[in-house]
Structure 1
Amino acid sequence: MTVPVTPDTPETLDRREGPYGEVVLRRRGTTYEIIANGCFLMDTSDGRSERMLVDAAYLALDPPPGSRPALLIGGLGVGFSLAHAAARPHWGRIAVVEREAAVVDWHRSGPLAEVSAAALADPRTEVLQTDLVAYLAGSADRYDALCLDIDNGPDWTVDEDNRGLYAPAGLAACRDRLRPGGVLAVWSAQPSAAFEDALRAAGFGDVRTQEVPVARGVPDAVHLARRR
């Protein structure tokens, strides 16, 4: 018996094995989905919370008029955060860290170019193909804002290696990559009071959480904190 193909039937566009496991790009109707090691990560169906991640960081930073703060985006994903940042002239340098070569390819020459082509062509944009946790720990670069969205959040990591980002050493590395007064913004699939406590324990101030309502279930969240 032939299974009928409907608009909700996912079509696999690319599947790759890399040093961190399998990553898959699927299309479901007009929506693209990224699957990592069999677990759904993100899709192009909405993007409100990814855009809010960037806007909330800028508003919390409250830079002086005429300044152009430097931004680090952790995780290229489907490209919403990068595209939104590059569409705003008030950012200066925009660096995006992505460890999966396949994801970078999907944006540079694949289907996700429709989201990010203009952002990748922007002279302010730099793609750093490396692991975010390792980059934060080993780099000497400084930024005014870090917008991190590499997992489902501190309470639900898809990749075990990403737990280090939310641990004391990972948060200390985030703090060290920020200039004084800089802002850390972390996307999460749900609010986390425990993560707020961890941010304060790591020496951050002005810790708060902005929620993004979703159609069903608990809201998405953006956790914000400032380097004192």
Structure 2
Amino acid sequence: MTPWELLDTAPVTGDRGELRLYRRGEEYSILVSNGGGELMNSRLHGSEDALAERACSQVADRARPRVLVGGLGMGFTLAAALKQLPPGAEVTVAELVPAVVQWNRELLGGLAGHPLEDPRTIVHGGDVGVVLKREKSAFDAILLDVDNGPEGLTRRQNDWLYSFKGLEAAFDALRSAGVLAIWSAGPDGAFADRLRQVGFDVEETIARAHGPKKGARHTIWLATRPS
């Protein structure tokens, strides 16, 4: 079997450890060194695609929809969102680690069809939480593909996104009937209740990592701000 080749490393802002980008043939993997294991793999992005498809299909018919994507990863979530949205849409992708943006521009872009080159894409080099705190009634959909969901493994600071304050910020950043879509490695009943307490109407769905019927079962919450 072809061995994995380490291509680059990048520090994880505000935490110990680092991200490591590997390649094996045409397959890429990003791991975190502090015991978090593999964060993403270029062969296993079915649930990331589903996250964007299920949320953006609900807002694609709006006039000039605005979407916020938290976490660039390998670009699959961003690419799936762009496929659902009309020419006049605007998609801001927030990525905290500069090297991840660089990897997408130089090494990974072709995997998802070079979504950073789409004229509808705006890159925010920083924490998605900063955008949520700053914007009010600004987005038709917010997609959070950050860490491994409510039980994050990479950054303790990510916990804020899934706290009451973080969810309230997301609620306020959405327009009427806007959708907050959250990816998670697994189910979390307490988190779904938290979404409802903030005021969202919540639907919990399942998506497979390797297409519709294969791979690990991941959880996607579709939380809608009432009209």
| Cα distance in 2 between the residues matched to 1:123 and 1:178 | 23
**Counterpart pick for 2:203 among 186, 198, 208:** 208
Runs (5+) with no aligned partner, structure 1: 1-5
CA RMSD of aligned residues (A): 2.0
| Cα distance in 1 between the residues matched to 2:125 and 2:198 | 27
* 2:13 paired with 1:16: no
User: Which stretch of the first structure deviates more once superposed, 30-39 or 122-131?
Assistant: 30-39
Runs (5+) with no aligned partner, structure 2: none
Q: TM-score, normalised by structure 1?
A: 0.87
**Counterpart pick for 2:53 among 39, 55, 58:** 55
- 8 Å contact from structure 1 (residues 107, 116) kept in 2: no
* Count of residue correspondences: 217
CA distance 1:86–1:62, change in 2 (3 Å): closer
Opposite residue 52 of structure 1, the aligned amino acid is: A
For residue 193 of structure 2, give the secondary structure of its aligned residue in structure 1: helix
For residue 24 of structure 1, give the secondary structure of its aligned residue in structure 2: strand
- 8 Å contact from structure 1 (residues 87, 119) kept in 2: no
What does residue 117 of structure 2 align with? 121
CA distance 1:192–1:60, change in 2 (3 Å): farther
Opposite residue 208 of structure 1, the aligned amino acid is: E
Larger Rg: 1
**Deviation of 1:61 (Å):** 4.0
Q: TM-score, normalised by structure 2?
A: 0.87
Opposite residue 19 of structure 1, the aligned amino acid is: T
CA distance 1:98–1:32, change in 2 (3 Å): same
User: Which stretch of the first structure deviates more once superposed, 77-86 or 17-26?
Assistant: 17-26
| Cα distance in 1 between the residues matched to 2:26 and 2:64 | 35
**Counterpart pick for 1:28 among 17, 24, 35:** 24
**Counterpart pick for 1:222 among 216, 220, 223:** 220
What does residue 97 of structure 2 align with? 100
